């Protein structure tokens, strides 16, 4: 997970003028820049894993009329260039248990996750994505390569706090390893139809899939 420190003053003072029509269409992928936040790689996984779940804001449930599985749906609660005036920022930082999103007993978003969303809004809330042409998928570490991907994309549904969907708790190495042993983890992320697709409303980048596959092929070590 990227760690981006940004003050509320900076967030609220940045304005980016981008036409609404252009924002509705996803921009072509650009080379990944570690200093930037990308909707598809950084923001969407956080919201899908924590908010766009069954019974909340997925396509089927769409509580309060919100489907947060898509860019257009998320933009209904985002004010481009201004995080503080965006409903999305307000609900993920609310201290009231009846208003905060995700609601208890799910764990609240981390400070890093909130900063990523706020920075994305401050940059103009673009429907952007990137591709890394230099993807490293060798000598994968569970702690530094695999767990961040699992945390960002899966914990909202597969954890003791978010609900152990399918009987899986991915908050621990042993929980992830159990889905490796029966091949469900890989079958789910490649989304060929042999298992429930994960994440449900999108797909991991090919780089992330290759990294998970490489780690699994190496014996899925707890390294």
Please classify residue 80 by burial: count the beta carbons closer than 10 Å to its beta carbon, then call 0-12 exposed, 13-18 middle and 19+ buried.
buried
Q: Are both 97 and 200 inside the same structural domain? A: no
The C-alpha atoms of residue 196 and residue 100 are separated, in whole angstroms, by: 29
Does some domain include residue 5? no
Mean pLDDT of the chain: 82
- 102's CB contacts (< 8 A; 6+ apart) are 50, 51, 53, 56, 108, 109, 156, 162
User: What are the pLDDT digits (tens) for 162-193?
Assistant: 556 677 888 899 999 999 998 999 999 999 88
The C-alpha atoms of residue 76 and residue 52 are separated, in whole angstroms, by: 14
Nearest to 45 by CA among 134, 142, 151, 167: 151
Q: Are both 36 and 82 inside the same structural domain? A: yes
The residue to which tokens 């797909």 are assigned: 203
- The pLDDT, as a whole number, for residue 23 is 45
Q: Are both 101 and 178 inside the same structural domain? A: no
Does some domain include residue 222? no
Q: Mean pLDDT per segment of 10 residues, for the chain of length 223 residues?
A: 46 39 63 90 87 68 74 94 96 91 87 95 93 86 93 76 70 92 92 83 84 96 97
Does some domain include residue 169? yes
Of 131, 163, 182, which residue is a domain's last? 131
Residue 163 lies in domain: 142-217
Does some domain include residue 6? no
- The pLDDT, as a whole number, for residue 37 is 94
- The pLDDT, as a whole number, for residue 16 is 40
Q: Are both 147 and 213 inside the same structural domain? A: yes
Q: Are both 197 and 109 inside the same structural domain? A: no
- The pLDDT, as a whole number, for residue 56 is 74
Q: Are both 104 and 166 inside the same structural domain? A: no
């Amino acid at each position: 997970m990227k760690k981006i420190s940004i003050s509320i003053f900076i967030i609220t003072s940045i304005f980016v003028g981008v036409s609404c029509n252009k924002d509705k269409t996803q921009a072509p992928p650009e080379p990944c820049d570690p200093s930037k936040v990308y909707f598809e790689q950084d923001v969407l996984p956080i919201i899908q894993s924590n908010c766009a779940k069954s019974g909340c804001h997925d396509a089927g449930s769409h509580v309060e009329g919100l489907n947060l599985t898509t860019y257009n749906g998320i933009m209904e609660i985002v004010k481009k260039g201004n995080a503080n005036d965006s409903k999305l920022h307000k609900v993920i930082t609310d201290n009231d248990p009846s208003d905060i999103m995700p609601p208890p007993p799910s764990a609240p978003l981390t400070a890093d996750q909130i900063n990523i969303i706020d920075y994305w809004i401050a940059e103009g809330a673009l429907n952007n994505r990137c591709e890394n042409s230099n993807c490293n998928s060798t000598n994968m570490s569970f702690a530094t390569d695999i767990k961040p991907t699992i945390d960002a994309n899966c914990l909202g549904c597969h954890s003791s706090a978010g609900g152990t969907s399918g009987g899986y708790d991915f908050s621990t190495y042993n929980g992830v390893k159990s889905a490796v042993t029966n091949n469900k983890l890989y079958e789910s992320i490649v989304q060929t139809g042999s298992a429930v697709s994960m994440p449900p409303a999108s797909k991991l980048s090919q780089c992330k899939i290759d990294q998970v596959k490489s780690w699994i092929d190496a014996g899925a070590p707890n390294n």
